[in-house]
Structure 1
């Protein structure tokens, strides 16, 4: 697969939750400062997203969808996604691929270019809280054919990708994007297999120039054929700077999809295993100095069960462990719940296959953090969109909100109760009179933790093409400590 290094244009990006404004207490009646303790939650003021180059296929088409729920403060400036090809023109000369000018209604753009560049974008002020961008690509034939979807990421310094591979027939690329305008990022790419870290000296000290993206084929990293494995964990660690990272996995026979980074902790919820999954493969990694003994449960529509023969998984420290769970859902949708018995942190992901023979298609489900306030996905369609809502502990109530359509209509909402230990699978309400695509938000109302994902299916020519995107909390607000006036500081 041909990949080129692309320059990237945009303003310097920041993490998804960035800034707030501190509240200052005025003086009391006796002239002393009125102390105010605690913190206040305020909307973020800046959000950024990095979208990797979608495909090099000559028979691929990509749809970008951007959306902001609103609720922020400040001036409403357009949230632009700028193409890498315009990097040398400077900000004023760049023409956005996509420009969102108001909250509440998504905007879309499509391209069938095989050399479509990586994109970088940012949202400020009223558009910043919850701003999200989705890229969805259909590939008609060849390696990776099917449906590939990704929620564009914010820059960070560390990413875990359990489930990558360097096996024959797989082409896994990690796309590294540096949004900084002046400083290069330096990144280490670490691979871990069943026997520990794989010797991969070419993955050390990878330089990502300013405003650029670098795709790295994982099969080029191991220094010997011993590093050719079907179940690996990739750690992207930035020595300097911050990058966006995502892995595109293309299989010669089983389609492909994007891998989003997986959360790490002493527990994990992997939501959204489809009812008709023919194969579910679990890949887990323990990054610390202790082994992790994982307890497995499957949360289905009516409760949680321990899958027969796969009740537990032992993960050695610094090593990748895997388990083929087969058709674990047995005709019902579900989510996998993992718990480390001794509280040892781990990271995990699922490779899910639908279909049989030469009509197979693959998607990946990462461990996803719970929704504390709201999670949003930008691309929902009239057919083939389902939400998986999992309450791993106690009952929870959520409100599912569908935005207006990109071509009109009015928002719609519905409230659901998710029983503890179950997965509720629903079709989000359609916008009233809505046309085009729309966004779906899941808002926490009450009860225990809720984890969510969205599955989009676009079957074609007998291939059950699908993609699954997690809905983590959008972190649209940030805690800001309250402060008080202390004029004595000027006399010290």
Structure 2
């Protein structure tokens, strides 16, 4: 009995619940913000092209309070765990890590090529966990989806919305599902077109094996071509990383990452100033229609695009509208707000640069704001654009350019973003930069800040580019003040 009580105390004796009457209001403490201790990231298989050249860049910003211990690595998502392996019960030998970061504050690069590069599963612990980010960037010289494809490796989750997918002629879109865990995940894929839900039993109950990845061709889930689709990935059991690889036979392609969760107002930051075509795709999962104001946050303030002042989204149906060359040579971000009653929706932009046979496509999903800090890796000395927007109120933002992966010294710069504007800021340059570097964005004060990073890699007259949004890295977690109270064991 005594031993059992001692064991129970080891599990339950670290904190106890006090009623408001018993608590001393004068000594109540706010929850402490402490660094997270473990982070998982999942990178989709980069390309099915033999011409693909892929670079992975890992980076963890330096975070106070992390201690000196920790590790991080990225490994192929093809290894079976000991628990899930068949045969002698010992499982396969663990895959050799693709990347093993050495220290926070300095990026690490790794390369692969060809069509056989697998999806990757990454884990960071201790000092490497808070704010850990991995960028996957692929260059494809020719063929379907040629150009530059980029994606931030994602945290596993159970629910994803992808407005902007397509099964139209010339498009080849795959949903990539990656499972980081020791048991199979079960996933449903739902598709919504301009007339509503597209019924398909093929998308139900898709099994993603432990530590494995499944690319699902969207055209196999529909009865015919659909120009504008919203894809809903719902995980019944387990958790996965999900991303849509959208490839076009004529205008390149890119990764379409998930829109932030449905909300009544959304921001889509960082439309390239030289965009030749911008298409907005939106969807509401609500039972009510959504009516939205459409505004562009320009360098001088909020502008309403002529002829596209509002957007009506019917309940359960995908809406799309062409906005043309919306930015007209200036930095811009799209701000969508309700005309009256707020109805939750999701949204993304399909953006084209170039003309004729020299076009290239990328996507900008609606994103969450940078509430504290966000980081993006894989930046280069030339061809990196950071867009910051403050739609509701002026904000002060600090941007740090890290040391380079092969050398250099970090540099920091602070900016003031005026209310309702977007700025493509002049980036701080790491002294003696060699290799790639990371950008860390921190909101210092003021209103909400939204950010995205554009990489440019023109080749053979094609303005290849990719855009990644920067939601908050959630590198800290609120931990309530607690004290040991063994009296609960005596009741």
The TM-score, its normalising length taken from structure 2, stands at: 0.91
- Tell me, what secondary structure is at the counterpart of 1:128? coil
Superposed, 1:302-313 pairs within 5 Å as 302-313=300-311
CA distance in 2, matches of 1:433, 1:152: 28
Equivalent residues of 1:35, 1:483 under 8 A apart: no
Per the alignment, residue 106 of structure 2 pairs with 105
Per the alignment, residue 278 of structure 2 pairs with 280
Selected match of 1:39 from 31, 36, 41: 31
CA distance in 1, matches of 2:188, 2:458: 38
CA distance in 1, matches of 2:461, 2:39: 40
Equivalent residues of 2:71, 2:127 under 8 A apart: no
CA displacement at 1:75 relative to structure 2: 4.5
* Aligned: 1:211 with 2:211: yes
Per the alignment, residue 399 of structure 1 pairs with 398
Deviations 1:38-77 (A, max 9, x none): 3111100000100010001111100000000021524533
Equivalent residues of 1:385, 1:427 under 8 A apart: no
CA displacement at 1:121 relative to structure 2: 0.6
CA displacement at 1:113 relative to structure 2: 2.4
* Aligned: 1:79 with 2:80: no
Deviations 1:94-128 (A, max 9, x none): 31100012100000011112100110011000110
CA displacement at 1:87 relative to structure 2: 4.3
Per the alignment, residue 96 of structure 1 pairs with 97
Equivalent residues of 1:76, 1:102 under 8 A apart: no
Equivalent residues of 1:23, 1:482 under 8 A apart: no
CA distance in 2, matches of 1:160, 1:455: 22
Superposed, 1:189-268 pairs within 5 Å as 189-222=189-222, 224-225=223-224, 228-263=225-260, 264-268=262-266
CA distance in 2, matches of 1:337, 1:433: 38
Farther-moved stretch of structure 1 (381-390 vs 480-489)? 480-489
- Tell me, what secondary structure is at the counterpart of 1:351? strand
CA RMSD of aligned residues (A): 1.8
Evaluate the alpha carbon distance shift between residue 23 and residue 260 of structure 1 in structure 2; reply closer, same or farther with a 3 A threshold: farther
Per the alignment, residue 127 of structure 2 pairs with 126
- Tell me, what secondary structure is at the counterpart of 1:179? coil
CA displacement at 1:24 relative to structure 2: 6.6
Evaluate the alpha carbon distance shift between residue 416 and residue 202 of structure 1 in structure 2; reply closer, same or farther with a 3 A threshold: same
Query: Can you give the 5+ residue segments of structure 1 that lack an aligned partner in the other structure?
Result: 1-21, 26-31
Count of paired positions: 461
Query: Can you give the 5+ residue segments of structure 2 that lack an aligned partner in the other structure?
Result: 1-12, 17-22, 83-90
Equivalent residues of 1:87, 1:94 under 8 A apart: no
Per the alignment, residue 414 of structure 2 pairs with 415
Equivalent residues of 2:285, 2:315 under 8 A apart: yes
CA displacement at 1:86 relative to structure 2: 4.4
CA displacement at 1:91 relative to structure 2: 8.2
Farther-moved stretch of structure 1 (86-95 vs 124-133)? 86-95
CA displacement at 1:340 relative to structure 2: 2.2
CA displacement at 1:272 relative to structure 2: 0.7
CA distance in 1, matches of 2:419, 2:93: 52
CA displacement at 1:93 relative to structure 2: 3.7
CA distance in 2, matches of 1:60, 1:373: 35
Equivalent residues of 1:310, 1:325 under 8 A apart: yes
Deviations 1:9-51 (A, max 9, x none): xxxxxxxxxxxxx9979xxxxxx99964431111000001000
CA displacement at 1:92 relative to structure 2: 6.2
Farther-moved stretch of structure 1 (332-341 vs 76-85)? 76-85
Evaluate the alpha carbon distance shift between residue 354 and residue 23 of structure 1 in structure 2; reply closer, same or farther with a 3 A threshold: farther
- Tell me, what secondary structure is at the counterpart of 1:262? coil
Per the alignment, residue 370 of structure 1 pairs with 369
Equivalent residues of 2:179, 2:210 under 8 A apart: yes
Deviations 1:212-259 (A, max 9, x none): 10000000001x22xx11111000000111110000011000100001
Per the alignment, residue 354 of structure 1 pairs with 353
- Tell me, what secondary structure is at the counterpart of 2:279? strand
CA displacement at 1:491 relative to structure 2: 1.7
Evaluate the alpha carbon distance shift between residue 24 and residue 73 of structure 1 in structure 2; reply closer, same or farther with a 3 A threshold: farther
Per the alignment, residue 3 of structure 2 pairs with none
